[in-house]
C-alpha cells in the first residue's frame, strides 16, 4: 500500500503539537496538506520546488522570538501547480485563516497589503508564485503568512517605509536582488517583510554602512558573534548562501540575515553543539530548543531533520536572535514498519 506524504505529515504534526503543547494544525490546515502532498512518500517529483529543492517542500523552524510555537512553511499544490495557481490558493488559504481566527479588520488589512502581489502575473517570469506559512501555539493560530514571489518593478508597490528602507539597502549594497515578500497576520498586528538575494560573496563587516543607514548598525557585533561562532569562525559568506530580509516595525527597521547552509562549503560538523554553546548565554532558549527538537523528532529517527538555514534577526532595540530551519526527515522513502507503528502509537496517545 502506498503512503502519501500528506498522511505522514498530518500524523507527525499532530504528535509534535501534543508534545509541544500547541494547537493541532491538522484540523485547520489538513485540507491544504492533502491538496499539496497527495503523491506517495519517496516520489522524486517533489524535489522540483523552490522552497527546499531536491526534497519535499515542507519546512519546520525554531525561532527565539516564538520558541514554543510549531512553525511551518510549505510550497502548496504539488509539483505540477503553476505560480499563478499558488498565488491564488495561498491567498485564499491565508484569507480563510485570518477571517476565522482574527476577524474582519485583520482580513481587510491583509487584503490591502497583499493586493499588489496576489495577482502579480508576468508571463514566463515566475518560478514558484507563493508559499504558505503558519505558526501555532497553545492558544491556536499565532500567525499565518503568505510569501509572494516578486517580479521586476514591484518594489514600488511596497509600503512607503519598507520601500525606502529597501532603496537605502540596495544603494549601500548593489548585490542585493529583491526576490519575495512575506505578509503576516498575527493576533495583535500584521507585518510585511521584503527579502533579497545577495549576489557575490558577502563579508559580514561590509554590512556596517547599510546597517548604520537603517538605524541598526549598533547590532552588527551581535550578528558577528552569533554567526561567527555557529559557522565556526567564518565571516565571509559565499554567493548563493545569503538571503536578507527587511521589516518595518513600530520599533524601527528590523534586519533578518539567513545563511543557506547548502551554499556554505564545509560547514562545521559540530554545528548543533555550537548553537547550544551560543544559546548558553540565554539558558531558557537553550532549553526551549532542546524541547522543540525532541518534540519535532519522529519516534523512529534520531533528529527532526537536516538543518537547512541558520538565521539571525535584529532591530534597533533587540540584538541578534536565532532562527533555525529544518527539512523534515523521512519523506524521501516510504516509512518502515517501525515508523508506521510509532506514528500509530503516537496518534493514539
Q: What is the mean pLDDT of the chain?
A: 92
Cα 234 to Cα 205, 230, 278, 306: the distances in Å are 12, 9, 15, 20
What gap in Å lies between CA 306 and CA 319, rounded to an integer?
Answer: 27
Place of cell 492533502: 34
The predicted model gives 42-50 an average pLDDT of 93
In the prediction, which pLDDT does 77 show? 93
pLDDT bracket for residue 2 (50, 70, 90): confident
What gap in Å lies between CA 11 and CA 26, rounded to an integer?
Answer: 8
pLDDT, tens digit (0-9, with 9 covering 90-100), for 160-184: 999 999 999 999 999 999 999 999 9
pLDDT bracket for residue 121 (50, 70, 90): low
Place of cell 490546515: 29
pLDDT, tens digit (0-9, with 9 covering 90-100), for 245-281: 999 988 899 999 999 999 999 999 899 999 999 999 9
What gap in Å lies between CA 228 and CA 187, rounded to an integer?
Answer: 35
pLDDT, tens digit (0-9, with 9 covering 90-100), for 20-36: 999 999 999 999 999 99
pLDDT > 90 in the chain, percent: 87
End-to-end CA distance of the chain: 25
The predicted model gives 146-160 an average pLDDT of 93
In the prediction, which pLDDT does 339 show? 47
Instruction: Answer yes or no: is pLDDT of 340 > 70.
Output: no
Cα atoms in the 13 Å half-sphere on the side-chain side of 88: 6
In the prediction, which pLDDT does 118 show? 87
The predicted model gives 334-342 an average pLDDT of 48
Instruction: Answer yes or no: is pLDDT of 124 > 70.
Output: no
pLDDT > 70 in the chain, percent: 93
In the prediction, which pLDDT does 251 show? 84
User: Crossing angle of helices 26-36/83-102, nearest 10°?
Assistant: 170
pLDDT, tens digit (0-9, with 9 covering 90-100), for 65-92: 999 999 999 999 999 899 999 999 999 9
Strands 130-137 and 236-237: unpaired
Amino acid at each position: 500500500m502506498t503512503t502519501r506524504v500528506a498522511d505522514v505529515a498530518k500524523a507527525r504534526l499532530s504528535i509534535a503539537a501534543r508534545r509541544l503543547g500547541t494547537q493541532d494544525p491538522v484540523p485547520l490546515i489538513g485540507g491544504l496538506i492533502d491538496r499539496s502532498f497527495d503523491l506517495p512518500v519517496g516520489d522524486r517529483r517533489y524535489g522540483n520546488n523552490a522552497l527546499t529543492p531536491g526534497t519535499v517542500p515542507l519546512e519546520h523552524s525554531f525561532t527565539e522570538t516564538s520558541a514554543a510555537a510549531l512553525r511551518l512553511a510549505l510550497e502548496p499544490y504539488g509539483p505540477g501547480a503553476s505560480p499563478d495557481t499558488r498565488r491564488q490558493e495561498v491567498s485564499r488559504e491565508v484569507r480563510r485563516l485570518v477571517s476565522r481566527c482574527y476577524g474582519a479588520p485583520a482580513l481587510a488589512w491583509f487584503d490591502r497589503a497583499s493586493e499588489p502581489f496576489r495577482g502579480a502575473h508576468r508571463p514566463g517570469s515566475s518560478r514558484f508564485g507563493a508559499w504558505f506559512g503558519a505558526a501555532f501555539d497553545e492558544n491556536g493560530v499565532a500567525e499565518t503568512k503568505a510569501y509572494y514571489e516578486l517580479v521586476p518593478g514591484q518594489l514600488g508597490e511596497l509600503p512607503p517605509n519598507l520601500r525606502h528602507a529597501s532603496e537605502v539597502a540596495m544603494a549601500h549594497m548593489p548585490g542585493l536582488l529583491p526576490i519575495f515578500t512575506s505578509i503576516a497576520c498575527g493576533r495583535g498586528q500584521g507585518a510585511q517583510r521584503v527579502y533579497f538575494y545577495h549576489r557575490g560573496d558577502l563579508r559580514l563587516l561590509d554590512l556596517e554602512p547599510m546597517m548604520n543607514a537603517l538605524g541598526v548598525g549598533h547590532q552588527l557585533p551581535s550578528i558577528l558573534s552569533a554567526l561567527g561562532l555557529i559557522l565556526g569562525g567564518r565571516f565571509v559568506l559565499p554567493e548563493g548562501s545569503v538571503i536578507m530580509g527587511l521589516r518595518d516595525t513600530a520599533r524601527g527597521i528590523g534586519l533578518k540575515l539567513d545563511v543557506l547552509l547548502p551554499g556554505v562549503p564545509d560547514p562545521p560538523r559540530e554545528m548543533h553543539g555550537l548553537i547550544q554553546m551560543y544559546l548558553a548565554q540565554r539558558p531558557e532558549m537553550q532549553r526551549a530548543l532542546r524541547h522543540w527538537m525532541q518534540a519535532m523528532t519522529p519516534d523512529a529517527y534520531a533528529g527532526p531533520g537536516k538543518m537547512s538555514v541558520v538565521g539571525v534577526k535584529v532591530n534597533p532595540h533587540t540584538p541578534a536572535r536565532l532562527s533555525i530551519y529544518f527539512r523534515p526527515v523521512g519523506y524521501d522513502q516510504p516509512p518502515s514498519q517501525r515508523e508506521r507503528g510509532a506514528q500509530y502509537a503516537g496518534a493514539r496517545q
